[in-house]
Each structure stands twice: as C-alpha cells, then as structure tokens.
Structure 1
C-alpha cells in the first residue's frame, strides 16, 4: 500500500495562516498512519474550466491570481500542484495515482460552486474518500443567519445588527505549527503556472505591479499599515479619494490571502481599550457589508444577472454603445467620473466613493444597464468578486436589496466638491485639468474662456465636453423610472 495522502484543495483561500481546511488537513495527516507510514498533505489548485463564463476571472484578476499562486507555491516549499480542467475528473485522477484518504477544502458560496462541490463530495464518498469542507471565507455563514420566520434578511442593518452581531462571536483566528509534511511526488497531469494562461501577452500591468504585493505577506503588511495609519481616521477619510483612507484589503480578502477573521480581530484587538471607537466600528460594519453581499448571493443566486427587485424588469434602458464606450474610456466630460477610469486602469482599483459616483452616472444619467457596468468592473478590478460586484451595482441602480432608491441620483459635481474639494484626485488622474482652480475643477464648462485659455484647457479638444446635461439626464432618468413603475403595475393587474 502506498503512503496515505491528504489532499488540500486551495480555492479562494490562498494562504497558510488561519486556513481552517489546511489546519484540519495537517491534523488529520499527523494522525493518519497506514502500515507505519504517516500521511502527507498534497496541496493543489484547480483552474475550473467548466465554470460559467461569467465566473471566469477577468484580466486584472488573472494577473493577481498568477502572483498569488507564485507566492503560495513558495510558501508550500514548491509542493503546490496546479491543474486545469474539470475538478471531479482531476481529483479522481489523483486518487488513481495516490492513496488518497481525505480531501479538504474551504467552502465557496457562488451558486455554481455550491452545486459542483455537493456533487464532488457525493462522488468521492462513494469511493471511500472522506471529504471535509470548512468555513474559511466568511465571519457568519449565510445558511446560519435567518429571521425569526426562517426567511433571509433583505436589509443590511437588521441583518448585521440582529442577525450577525447578536450571534456567537466569529471564530478567532487559528494558530498552527506551520511545519507541514508536504507530499512532493508530482502528478502526471499537473501543469506549470504559465500553462494556466493568466498573464497577458502585452505587459499592460506595469503600474499595477508597482503598487501591489499579492500574496500572504503582502496582505499582512497591508493590514499592519492600515491599523497603524488610516484606521485612525477611517470614518471620515474613507470617502476622500485623494488620500489613502481605506484598508486596500479587498483583493487580498477576495483571493483569501488573509482571512476575514484575522482582519476582524486585528481591528478589535487594536482598539480593545476603546471598544466603541467610531472608526473601528465603521470599518467593521464595512466588513459586514462584504458578508451581506455573499449572504444575498447565497439566498438569491440570480442576482449576478437578474434584478433582485423584479419591478425593474420593465425598465427601458437606452444602452447607447457610444455612451458606454465614452464612460469606459473616461471621456464623459464629467471630471470626477473620468478620473475614476484612469485610476482603474493604472492601479486595478477604484476608490469606493468614486465607484458609486461612476456607477450612478452610467446607470442613471446615461441609462445604461447596470449589467454592462458590472461586466466592465469584473474585467478591470483586481478585487472583482461576484457577490460584491453584483450586489454593489444593483445597489447603485436601485434594483437590489437595501438599494439606494432609484430617484437618488448622485450629482457628480456636488460629490466632487464635497469629497475632492481641492480637486487633487481629479488633477492626478485627469492631468489636462490640473491647472484649473478648485472652483472649476469639477465643472470646467462653467469656467470663463480666459481661465480655460490660461489653464490650457480646450473643451472638445484636450478634454471632452459633457456627454450629457446633468439636469436634463437626471430628469430623463426619473421619467423613465416613473414609466417603468407604471408598466410594472399594469403588468401585475
């Protein structure tokens, strides 16, 4: 009998520390002895080619994943084995090569993953392989948080305050002796990292790789930097795009390079002497919003492609391809909107306040379907996450759970003047406007011709004229919404 092997299937948990499935895999390996031979842990990552097209990672996420797998391979002493294809077939092939006694993974919550994992678990158990799945991605699993009538929450505040905070405290991060006995025998079907095809042929990510350090150590460093600095003014600074007022942990959390439990308790421990600190509480509630998005996806699996609120199904979108293209290129003529796109392309990230502004402008001022914006963000964001992306776009569109009402239309001028008073953010990402005084930086079309000339701004030449009149497009959006409500009412009578 060959030596026993415990398979640790890494997914959205590309880390060693506080990894529940890995913790149990090591524990099982240390206590599994067959014919006097102790079991070893075989770490694997599978690129699931059978996943729905909408779930395949976008270009920016692929770059991050490549770097993260490189980091994880180093952490596993080059024992990490990579595969591409149908997960069940790959696991069965490994079972044919090794004496596999257990397979472990941390649970995923996207609908297609739930169905896939359930089938795999059933199939493996039929071959006398023990399967253990763990929660390594959320503070509170969605199936455990329900209202008194056993229906899911649809509004964030009661979900978070009643459904989550009144429950048992989230699991405290696990500590583990990281002296792991890895299985080093290579599978015949394993592939090299380059074979996953994650890096593009064109080196467009130069500025991105200068800003980010993907991997477990990069996540730990980012958390430490946040706690020592931006967390102390988080409540106010999180809305100021010109400063680093947020944690920038979202891509690390998405890929599981740091656990949500580690972040949660790091903040609580840092402010243990000030348990009601408003900055800490505000940040923890933002982690709660992350939980809520996964909760919604679990209970309402249609939200990545369909309106959460069906009354929006009758909404008539303009969907002008030229408007969408101008928005994608940062050529709308609305400075705070246009600044968001260069930030996205140069950093793989967009400030959350700006995400709301550009999203509202696309959906409400341009009347472009929120799904077009969701798909664009999916391809361009390093932290693209099915749950957060779909929930956020439906929130800004007004069609989601606990959504911003449709008639709440962000005024990008007022938003810019409030959160980018001196225009520092706009000047950085729209350098053609950098000479404009703060009075006109968010509305250059109102600047007198002599000021535009002195500031080297020629509207329609080196900076576009506004794509739409904000007042007119706002009224158009409200009228379209009113008509959709009327159409929905007639459809139900």
Structure 2
C-alpha cells in the first residue's frame, strides 16, 4: 500500500507508455497513483518555439489526465529540491516509475536521481521506452557497438520488436489522486509558462499524433520511397515532432504499420520508412557511446579542423538570404514553422559546413533553438554526418551542390516560390539560379538581383574545392 509515482518527461501520452503501464499494473487495493511533471530551471532558461511546442504538448497531456481524474502535479526547482517536496508531501511511496533517458542531460539526471531515490529508501522502476531498441541492445557478435548503419540495420531487423504496452485507463481513474494543493510552487510556475504559449499549430498531443499517423498510413507511406525527398509534396510522415515529445511511441508506429498497411501495394515505401525508425535508434546508440558528440567531432583527426568565422554569412544563412533559392526557402520554412523537410536539413547543413566552411556546431545550435522536433541524438548525428566529422558520414569529397539539389528535388520551383515570394514570377529556367537572369528578364520578373533578392554569397565550385582541400590537408597531416 502506498503511492506509486509516475514521472512524465518526453513520453507525454496515456497509451503504450511503458512506465505508466508498469505502475498501473503494479497498483492494487489501497494504492494510489500520483502523476508528476518536473520543471527544471535549466530547461526553461530560454523559451523558444521548441519549448513552446513541448509545453503545449504537456498541456494536452494535462487535459487528458484531468479526464481520468488523475491530474498532473508540477514540481519546480533543481532535482533534489523539487523531489524533496514530493517526499515531504506524498506520504508512503511504493515506487517511482519513469522512462529512462540514455543520452545527454536526461541520462545525467536519471543516473543521479536513481541513486538519490535509493538513498531515500524509495524503489525505482525505470524502463526503456523512447526507442524500439535501446542503445545497448543492437550489438555485434563480440558485444561491441556498430559505427556504420547498414550492418546495424541488418541486426536491428533480426531482433524481436517490443510489444505495445497496455494501459488500463479505468484503473487510472480508480487509483488516481489529486493533491495539487500541496504543490503550489510547481503549479504557479506551470501557470506562468502557459502565459508564454504562442505556437498556433493544431499538431499537438496524442490525439493529433494518432490522426496524423492514420493519414500517413492511408496513402503516403506507399509512395514514401519515391516522394520523401521532394519538399513541395506531402510525402513524409511528420511524426518526428510527436516522437520528440512522446505524444506517440515508436512501438505504436511500428505495429500500426505492420497491421494497417498492405505490403504488396507499396513494400518499398514501407521498408524505407521502417529504416528511418531504425536510423533514430542508431543515432541514439551513437550518442550514448559518444557522449561528447554534441561538442566534439567523432572522427578524432577532424577535431582540430580550421572552420571559417563570419558572423555576416552565418546571419544570412539563418535568415535565408544566401542567394541560393532552395537553401533560403528551407531556412525560411524553419524560421516560420519550426520544422524543415529532411532532405533540406541535409542540404542546408552541407551548405553551412562545405560552401561556407563554418563550424557544424553553429548550425546544430540553431536547429536546437528553432526545431519543434529537435532530438539531440538525431540532430547531432545528422550535422556531423553532413560535416563529414561523424560516424558513417558523407565522405568529405562528396559536397552537395545547392543548385543541383534544387533542380533535382524542387524541379518546378514550387517549394521555392512558396517560401521565397521575391522569386514568385521568376520563370522555371532561372528559378534555381536567379543570379543568371539577364537584366531584361529580371525587370520582367520584378526581381532585381542584388536588390530584391541577393546574389549568391559564395561561388559553389570555389568553396567546394576549398572544403576538399581543407579536409584533405587534415587527412594528409594525420
């Protein structure tokens, strides 16, 4: 008998939630379920669109929990200070249940708190929930971890996939308790955070996640292999934001794909999408074994590479004013919506690190500020891949041509014209390189290069050669 504490974090849902399922299953007569969310001061030092979206997802969970008469109780302060308040008010605690973070700040917090709870004599039940397979689950025969995705994926496919975690919501309603009067400090901080909400999307919370998945599985998944690289087409799942907040679990996505799609109809699209789920696991594993990867190149010989420093160019990249239409459209999409198409993430990362020869950490940090689906492991992995400094990266001599990317993946300029209105009347012949328009064509299009739209800030061919030389020098030196 006692209270079973369910600590929500980036698992903001009531279905297929491992820690919650376990706590509910363990509850019997005389037990009580107390739901908590801890607001750490470090995590709200800024309030960017990423925080806005995340905390609005928390709010969606708050409302769902209210419906089951098991409200969220907010704690505020550094870990020990906040959880001492819990211990002082909760009475007898039968256990604290949460889903363990394997990387970054979350891992440091969890390792510390597991030890702290044990010192207080409180049982801890931590579960792996954020990924299909944990960072230590997909291993080589000798027990080591993979550094290349292809063999990792072969092994990933062979492992049995975890089943859905059933949550008895009627039992939640029966055992849930409301003791919010004891947690006014956290409650007040939560109310103040809500006043900062500004994100206007309707893509928030568990219900929205399930609806979007249904739409994707109803059609787009079958053409995923063919359409996923074209930003003007609604060909991606848009599930990354929901996975980031835990409004849906990767298990739910995986099993619904298996149950609700017809493999004969579009097996290639289905297989390619499942591979993307595995990439997410792969980068989580890489960050787990390279905990310094957020600030240090994984390929040791590139740790001293000489990056350019140019504040003006960095600002023009951020604002989408580089003179390369696809790059500019992508950055403006990010700035306005908090999201960027995956093909474009690769293109803009390559542009910053190879065409501008600027430090990948600057781009990674900007994505951290702007993306609603920011996932540290995947974002760091992607940036180091583009910069040729990470594990299984694009070779340093393979440099994306931003104009060629534009021609291939936005051939009619539809995406460009949506996000760069200055180019709306530029004909298809010049849309990928408007700087090549003759003056009379510029007049006709109402787009004067250097005035209405910038000239390219660099020459791609020149910078490509510089980038290759710089990486080659490091390679030769080592």
Shorter chain as normaliser: what TM range?
over 0.9
Q: Tell me how far apart the structure 1 counterparts of residues 222 and 193 of structure 2 sit (CA, whole Å).
A: 37
Change in CA separation of 1:194 and 1:219 when aligned onto 2, cut-off 3 Å: farther
Q: Note if contact 1:50-1:85 (Cα within 8 Å) is conserved in structure 2.
A: no
Change in CA separation of 1:90 and 1:262 when aligned onto 2, cut-off 3 Å: same
- Name the residue aligned to 2:333: 343
Change in CA separation of 1:436 and 1:152 when aligned onto 2, cut-off 3 Å: same
- Name the residue aligned to 2:158: 166
Q: Note if contact 2:223-2:266 (Cα within 8 Å) is conserved in structure 1.
A: no
- Name the residue aligned to 1:10: 8
3-state SS in 1 of match to 2:93: strand
Q: Tell me how far apart the structure 2 counterparts of residues 260 and 213 of structure 1 sit (CA, whole Å).
A: 17
3-state SS in 1 of match to 2:207: helix
Alignment partner for residue 142 of structure 2, among 137, 144, 149?
149
Alignment partner for residue 176 of structure 1, among 163, 167, 171?
167
Structure 1 residue 430 displacement after superposition: 0.3
- Name the residue aligned to 1:227: 217
Structure 1 residue 484 displacement after superposition: 2.0
Q: Tell me how far apart the structure 1 counterparts of residues 386 and 107 of structure 2 sit (CA, whole Å).
A: 27
1:287 aligns with 2:274: no
Q: Tell me how far apart the structure 1 counterparts of residues 2 and 432 of structure 2 sit (CA, whole Å).
A: 65
Q: Tell me how far apart the structure 2 counterparts of residues 200 and 335 of structure 1 sit (CA, whole Å).
A: 37
Moved more, 213-222 or 370-379: 213-222
Structure 2 stretches lacking a partner, 5+ long: none
Spell out the pairing of 1:73-472 with structure 2 (5 A cutoff): 73-77=62-66, 79-98=71-90, 99-162=92-155, 164-167=156-159, 169-179=160-170, 180=172, 181-186=175-180, 187-192=182-187, 195=190, 198=193, 205=198, 209-210=200-201, 212-271=202-261, 273-274=263-264, 277-472=267-462
Change in CA separation of 1:376 and 1:198 when aligned onto 2, cut-off 3 Å: farther
Structure 1 stretches lacking a partner, 5+ long: none
Q: Note if contact 1:65-1:198 (Cα within 8 Å) is conserved in structure 2.
A: no
Alignment partner for residue 49 of structure 1, among 41, 61, 64?
41
3-state SS in 2 of match to 1:123: helix
Q: Note if contact 2:76-2:189 (Cα within 8 Å) is conserved in structure 1.
A: no
- Name the residue aligned to 1:22: 20
Q: Note if contact 2:24-2:167 (Cα within 8 Å) is conserved in structure 1.
A: no
Q: Note if contact 1:330-1:342 (Cα within 8 Å) is conserved in structure 2.
A: yes
1:39 aligns with 2:31: yes
Structure 1 residue 96 displacement after superposition: 1.8
Count of aligned positions: 470
Superposition TM-score, scaled by structure 2 size: 0.94
Structure 1 residue 436 displacement after superposition: 1.0
Q: Tell me how far apart the structure 2 counterparts of residues 326 and 154 of structure 1 sit (CA, whole Å).
A: 34
Structure 1 residue 189 displacement after superposition: 4.9
Q: Tell me how far apart the structure 1 counterparts of residues 127 and 191 of structure 2 sit (CA, whole Å).
A: 26
Superposition TM-score, scaled by structure 1 size: 0.91
4+ long deviations beyond 6 Å: none
Deviations, residues 331-390 of structure 1 (Å, cap 9, x unaligned):
100000000111112211000111111110000000110000000000000001110110
Q: Tell me how far apart the structure 2 counterparts of residues 470 and 74 of structure 1 sit (CA, whole Å).
A: 51
Q: Tell me how far apart the structure 1 counterparts of residues 275 and 315 of structure 2 sit (CA, whole Å).
A: 35
Q: Note if contact 2:21-2:168 (Cα within 8 Å) is conserved in structure 1.
A: no
Structure 1 residue 270 displacement after superposition: 2.0
Q: CA RMSD in A?
A: 1.9
3-state SS in 1 of match to 2:16: coil
Q: Tell me how far apart the structure 2 counterparts of residues 452 and 234 of structure 1 sit (CA, whole Å).
A: 37
Structure 1 residue 90 displacement after superposition: 2.1
Q: Tell me how far apart the structure 2 counterparts of residues 293 and 343 of structure 1 sit (CA, whole Å).
A: 25
Structure 1 residue 209 displacement after superposition: 1.6
Structure 1 residue 91 displacement after superposition: 2.1
3-state SS in 2 of match to 1:192: helix
Q: Tell me how far apart the structure 2 counterparts of residues 478 and 22 of structure 1 sit (CA, whole Å).
A: 51
Q: Note if contact 1:105-1:134 (Cα within 8 Å) is conserved in structure 2.
A: yes
